[in-house]
Amino acid sequence: MAVEGMSMETNQRFNFGLDLIKEAGELALGYFNARSTLTIQNKGVQDLASEADLNTELLIRDKLAKAFPEDAFLGEETEPTSYDGDQGIWVVDPIDGTQPFICGLSSWCVSIAFVKGGVLQFGMVYAPARGELFSGGKAYPAMLNGKPIEGHKGKSVKDGLTATGYSPKSGPDEFLPGFERFLKAGGMFYRDGSGALGLCYVAAGRLIGFFEPMIRSWDCLGAVAVLEAAGLKVSDFLANDGLRKGNPIIAANEHVYRELEKLIAG
C-alpha cells in the first residue's frame, strides 16, 4: 500500500510491517498449537512468559534490524536499543495476552507500531488464532482484514460493552474507585486478557470504549494507531514519556470518551 502524503520510507515500513506481523503471528500460532511443550516462566504477579514470547520478538527484531538498521527498537521481552527521540522506533509486543495464550484461549495477538519524531505513524495488530489483522495510522485507513472499520455510534456507556484492563502495575486501589463509578453509571465491562485486542475492538465498533489505569506502550500503541485512523478519541498516550514509562488510557468516540473520563477521574 502506498499512501499519498506519506514518505516513501514510511510506506515501505508500513508494508514491511504488514508482512512481518503475519510471519510473526504464524510463528506464535505454531507455539500456541504446541503449548504443552512450552517452558513457562513467571516474571511477576500474573505476569507469565515462555520461549514463544521471546522467539517471536527475536524474529521481529532481527528482521527489522536488517531491513531498517537506522531505526530503534522497543519490545517487551528484550533490552531496548538506544533511541534519540527523533529517529524512528518500532514498538513491539510479540504476544499480548500471554496468560490467555498459555491457557489455550484465543484472545492474544502480535502488536507492532512505528513512531517517528515522537509521533505515532502507524500500527498493526494480528490475532492469528482468530484470523484477524487490524491496521491503520496517521495516513492509513483503519482496516480489519483489508476492509474499513468504524467505531460504535453510542453516546453513553449504557449503549454497549466497555473493555477494561487491569494489572498489578496499577493495583486495586487505583482501579476499583473508577470501576465502581463506571458500573453505577450503567456501564457493562468486557475483558479477555489482551489490551491491544480490546482497543482494536473499539476501533471496529464491537465495543463502545476502553479504559485502563496503567498500560505499557508495547501493549497498546499498535491498536492506538488503528483507533486514531478510525477517527476515535484516545488519551495522549505518548505524553510524559509514555513510550518508556507507560500511561493510563481511555479510548472511545467523543461522547463516550467524555463520560469515561469523568467517571474514571471521579
Q: What is the H or E stretch that residue 247 is in?
A: strand 247-252
The C-alpha atoms of residue 55 and residue 14 are separated, in whole angstroms, by 22
Q: What confidence tens digit (pLDDT) does each residue in 117-135 have?
A: 999 999 999 999 999 999 9
Phi and psi of 87, rounded to 5°? -80, 170
- The alpha carbon of residue 51 and the mean position of all alpha carbons in its chain are separated, in whole angstroms, by 21
Last residue of a domain, one of 115, 131, 148: 148
32 and 91 in a single domain? The answer is yes
pLDDT confidence bin for 38, thresholds 50/70/90:
confident
Radius of gyration of the chain from its Cα atoms, rounded to whole angstroms? 17
Q: What is the H or E stretch that residue 126 is in?
A: strand 119-127
44 and 101 in a single domain? The answer is yes
Average pLDDT on 242-262 reads 97
pLDDT confidence bin for 266, thresholds 50/70/90:
confident
Residue with the three cell numbers 491498536: 223
pLDDT at 2: 56
pLDDT at 170: 79
138 and 173 in a single domain? The answer is no
Q: Does residue 1 fall inside a structural domain? A: no
Q: Does residue 3 fall inside a structural domain? A: no
Full residue range of the structural domain in which residue 183 is found: 157-265
Q: What confidence tens digit (pLDDT) does each residue in 74-119 have?
A: 999 999 999 987 899 999 999 999 999 999 999 999 999 999 999 9
Least confident of 1-5, 108-112, 262-266: 1-5
For residue 189, pLDDT beyond 60: yes
Q: Does residue 88 fall inside a structural domain? A: yes
Q: At what angle do helices 8-33 and 51-67 cross, to 10 degrees?
A: 160
Q: Output the nine-digit C-alpha cell for 54.
A: 521471546
Last residue of a domain, one of 128, 148, 168: 148
| Pairing assessment for the beta strands 209-215 and 233-234 based on DSSP bridges | unpaired
185 and 84 in a single domain? The answer is no
Q: What is the H or E stretch that residue 115 is in?
A: strand 109-116
Please provide the size of the chain in residues.
Answer: 266
187 and 248 in a single domain? The answer is yes
For residue 17, pLDDT beyond 70: yes
Q: What is the H or E stretch that residue 41 is in?
A: strand 40-44
For residue 12, pLDDT beyond 80: yes
pLDDT at 1: 59
pTM: 0.94
Q: What is the H or E stretch that residue 261 is in?
A: helix 254-265
Neighbouring-strand partners of residue 96: 109
Q: Output the nine-digit C-alpha cell for 81.
A: 536499543
Give 241's contacts (C-beta < 8 A, 6+ positions apart): none
Could you tell me which of 206, 70, 45, 44 has the C-alpha nearest to residue 127? 206
19 and 132 in a single domain? The answer is yes
123 contacts 221 by C-beta, under 8 angstroms: yes
